Amino acid sequence: SVVNHTQPHSSSCVSPPSRIEWVWLHWGEYLKAYEEFELWLTRQQRSLDVGVELQLGVKEKLWQVDQQRVGLSDIQGQAALLERLLDEASALHNRTQDPSVDPQAQEGLQEDYNDVRDRAEERLSLLQKMAEEHQTYQGCVHRFQSWLLSKTKELTDLMEREETAENKLKALQALDDSVAGEEKTLQQIEGLSEALRGTTSPSGAEVVVEEAEELRLGWQRLRQGLCEGEEGLRSSLDSHSQYTARCQRLGEDIGHLRVLLQGLDQELGEGQNPPDHTEEQMVGQWRKYTALFLQGLDSVANELRLGAWAPSVMLPCSYPAVTHAVTMHGNLSFPLKVEVAPYRRRLPPVSDA
């Protein structure tokens, strides 16, 4: 007989979890992650719904930019979690066909995330722009302040320089043209200041406005100093020119006096003996030839305000009446030194000291 030795067949297979168990396990994990993600999205949306908080100055605005950059980095870091959620939702939908995890629901979740991310990026760009504009404004203010100080010092040095009035006036005019041309820069700063009022806190906006106003006042004070300096130099030059012209006119009038006195000398001496003339006749002749000149001389003296300046005139005779007539001439507003000399046919030179 044949003995068949049949060995029993043993199998140690481990049965996988049932489909229901798999769905139950993954669904619970998905819902937990989904709820946490939805809560995070809601917080981000509420934060972005709040308007930008206006800051005091550049330092505070730069801090705000850093905070927003950190927030955006956190949002971007959630992209990996969202990707896992969408993969899990797709797997669950393949198993269950549940509409809460269908492609349309997945797209809605992706769109909500994209909206939060895009708004955060826009917020960061806005804050960066606000900070950069304030930095630009501050840089312009500091440069203009330094420029004002340098030009003010230049004006002071120029006025103290040992130069002629003409050279100083030319230098002042060139400096004034340079300062006047910078009003465009000042207007640009004022425009930046006006724009910052809408992106800065009320206290910060007040500081910005005061800074711009102070720059305008400083520029106006510099222009005023330049104008006063130019006016002073022009006045000095005009006074010198007028004085020179009037001195020339006075010299001409004194020359006319010499001619008149020479004419008097000739008239008194031609064919007559001077002692035969009465004092009244001689005074009349003197007045005839000198009244017009004395009036002009008096006018020039008034213009020059010579005051104590007194020309010394040698008279051609020794008659007291003539001396009295000249000295007491009604139109003469300054003292006239009269030196009485004996009569001569030719008058000595007239001294105009």
**Taking the chain (353 residues) in consecutive chunks of 10 residues, what is each chunk's mean pLDDT?**
33 53 80 93 95 94 97 95 92 85 90 96 97 97 97 93 86 93 96 95 95 96 92 75 66 67 62 58 64 55 47 42 42 41 37 41
Q: What is the pLDDT at residue 101?
A: 82
At CA 279, angle to CA 276 and CA 280, rounded to 5?
Answer: 115
**pLDDT score of 20:** 76
∠ CA 336-341-344, nearest 5°, is: 125
**Domains along the chain?**
19-132 (1.20.58.60), 137-241 (1.20.58.60), 245-340 (no CATH)
Q: How many residues does the chain have?
A: 353
pLDDT of residue 100: 85
* pLDDT attached to residue 345: 33
Which pLDDT belongs to residue 285?
A: 64
Helix (H) or strand (E) holding 314: strand 312-315
Tell me how far apart the 2 most distant CA atoms of the chain are, in Å.
Answer: 209
This prediction has a pTM of: 0.62
Burial classification of residue 315, based on how many CB atoms lie within 10 Å of its CB (0-12 exposed, 13-18 middle, 19 or more buried): buried
Tell me, what's the pLDDT at 263? 67
The CA angle 87-89-94, to the nearest 5 degrees, is 95
3-state DSSP call for residue 331?
A: coil
